[in-house]
Amino acid sequence: MNCAFCKTRVPEGKILFRDECDRCGGDLHICLNCTFYDPHASRQCREPAIPEAVKDKERKNLCEYFKRQEEGQGQGGEAASEAARRKLEALFK
């Protein structure tokens, strides 16, 4: 995973609520760094169990569903949207 602000590689391991980027000091436990973040989804989150939307996606939050982005997944759920697009194309061919 890379920092959403400076794009610096973040070391492997669990990201805690107060963790910050070593390079720029930006918050890491934020929606923009989460696997479930998707600007096109309801509440901009693909996690259906989230009780309410997080208003500021660029500041640390206490969301219990936070999961650091997987390797190769771009910000905004790009990997998931690309996979969905490929499935749809295969379905309609």
* pLDDT at res. 71: 66
* pLDDT at res. 82: 65
Please, which residues bridge with residue 37 across strands?
A: 45
- What does the pLDDT average to over 19-31? 97
Confidence label for 3 from pLDDT (cuts 50, 70 and 90) = very high
> Within the chain, how many helices (H) and strands (E) appear?
1, 0
Q: Please tell me whether the overall predicted TM-score, pTM, comes out greater than 0.85 for this model.
A: no
Confidence label for 80 from pLDDT (cuts 50, 70 and 90) = low
Which DSSP category does 81 fall into?
Answer: H
- What does the pLDDT average to over 2-26? 95
- CA 57, 61, 63 angle in degrees (round to 5)? 100
Please state the domain extents for the chain. 1-93
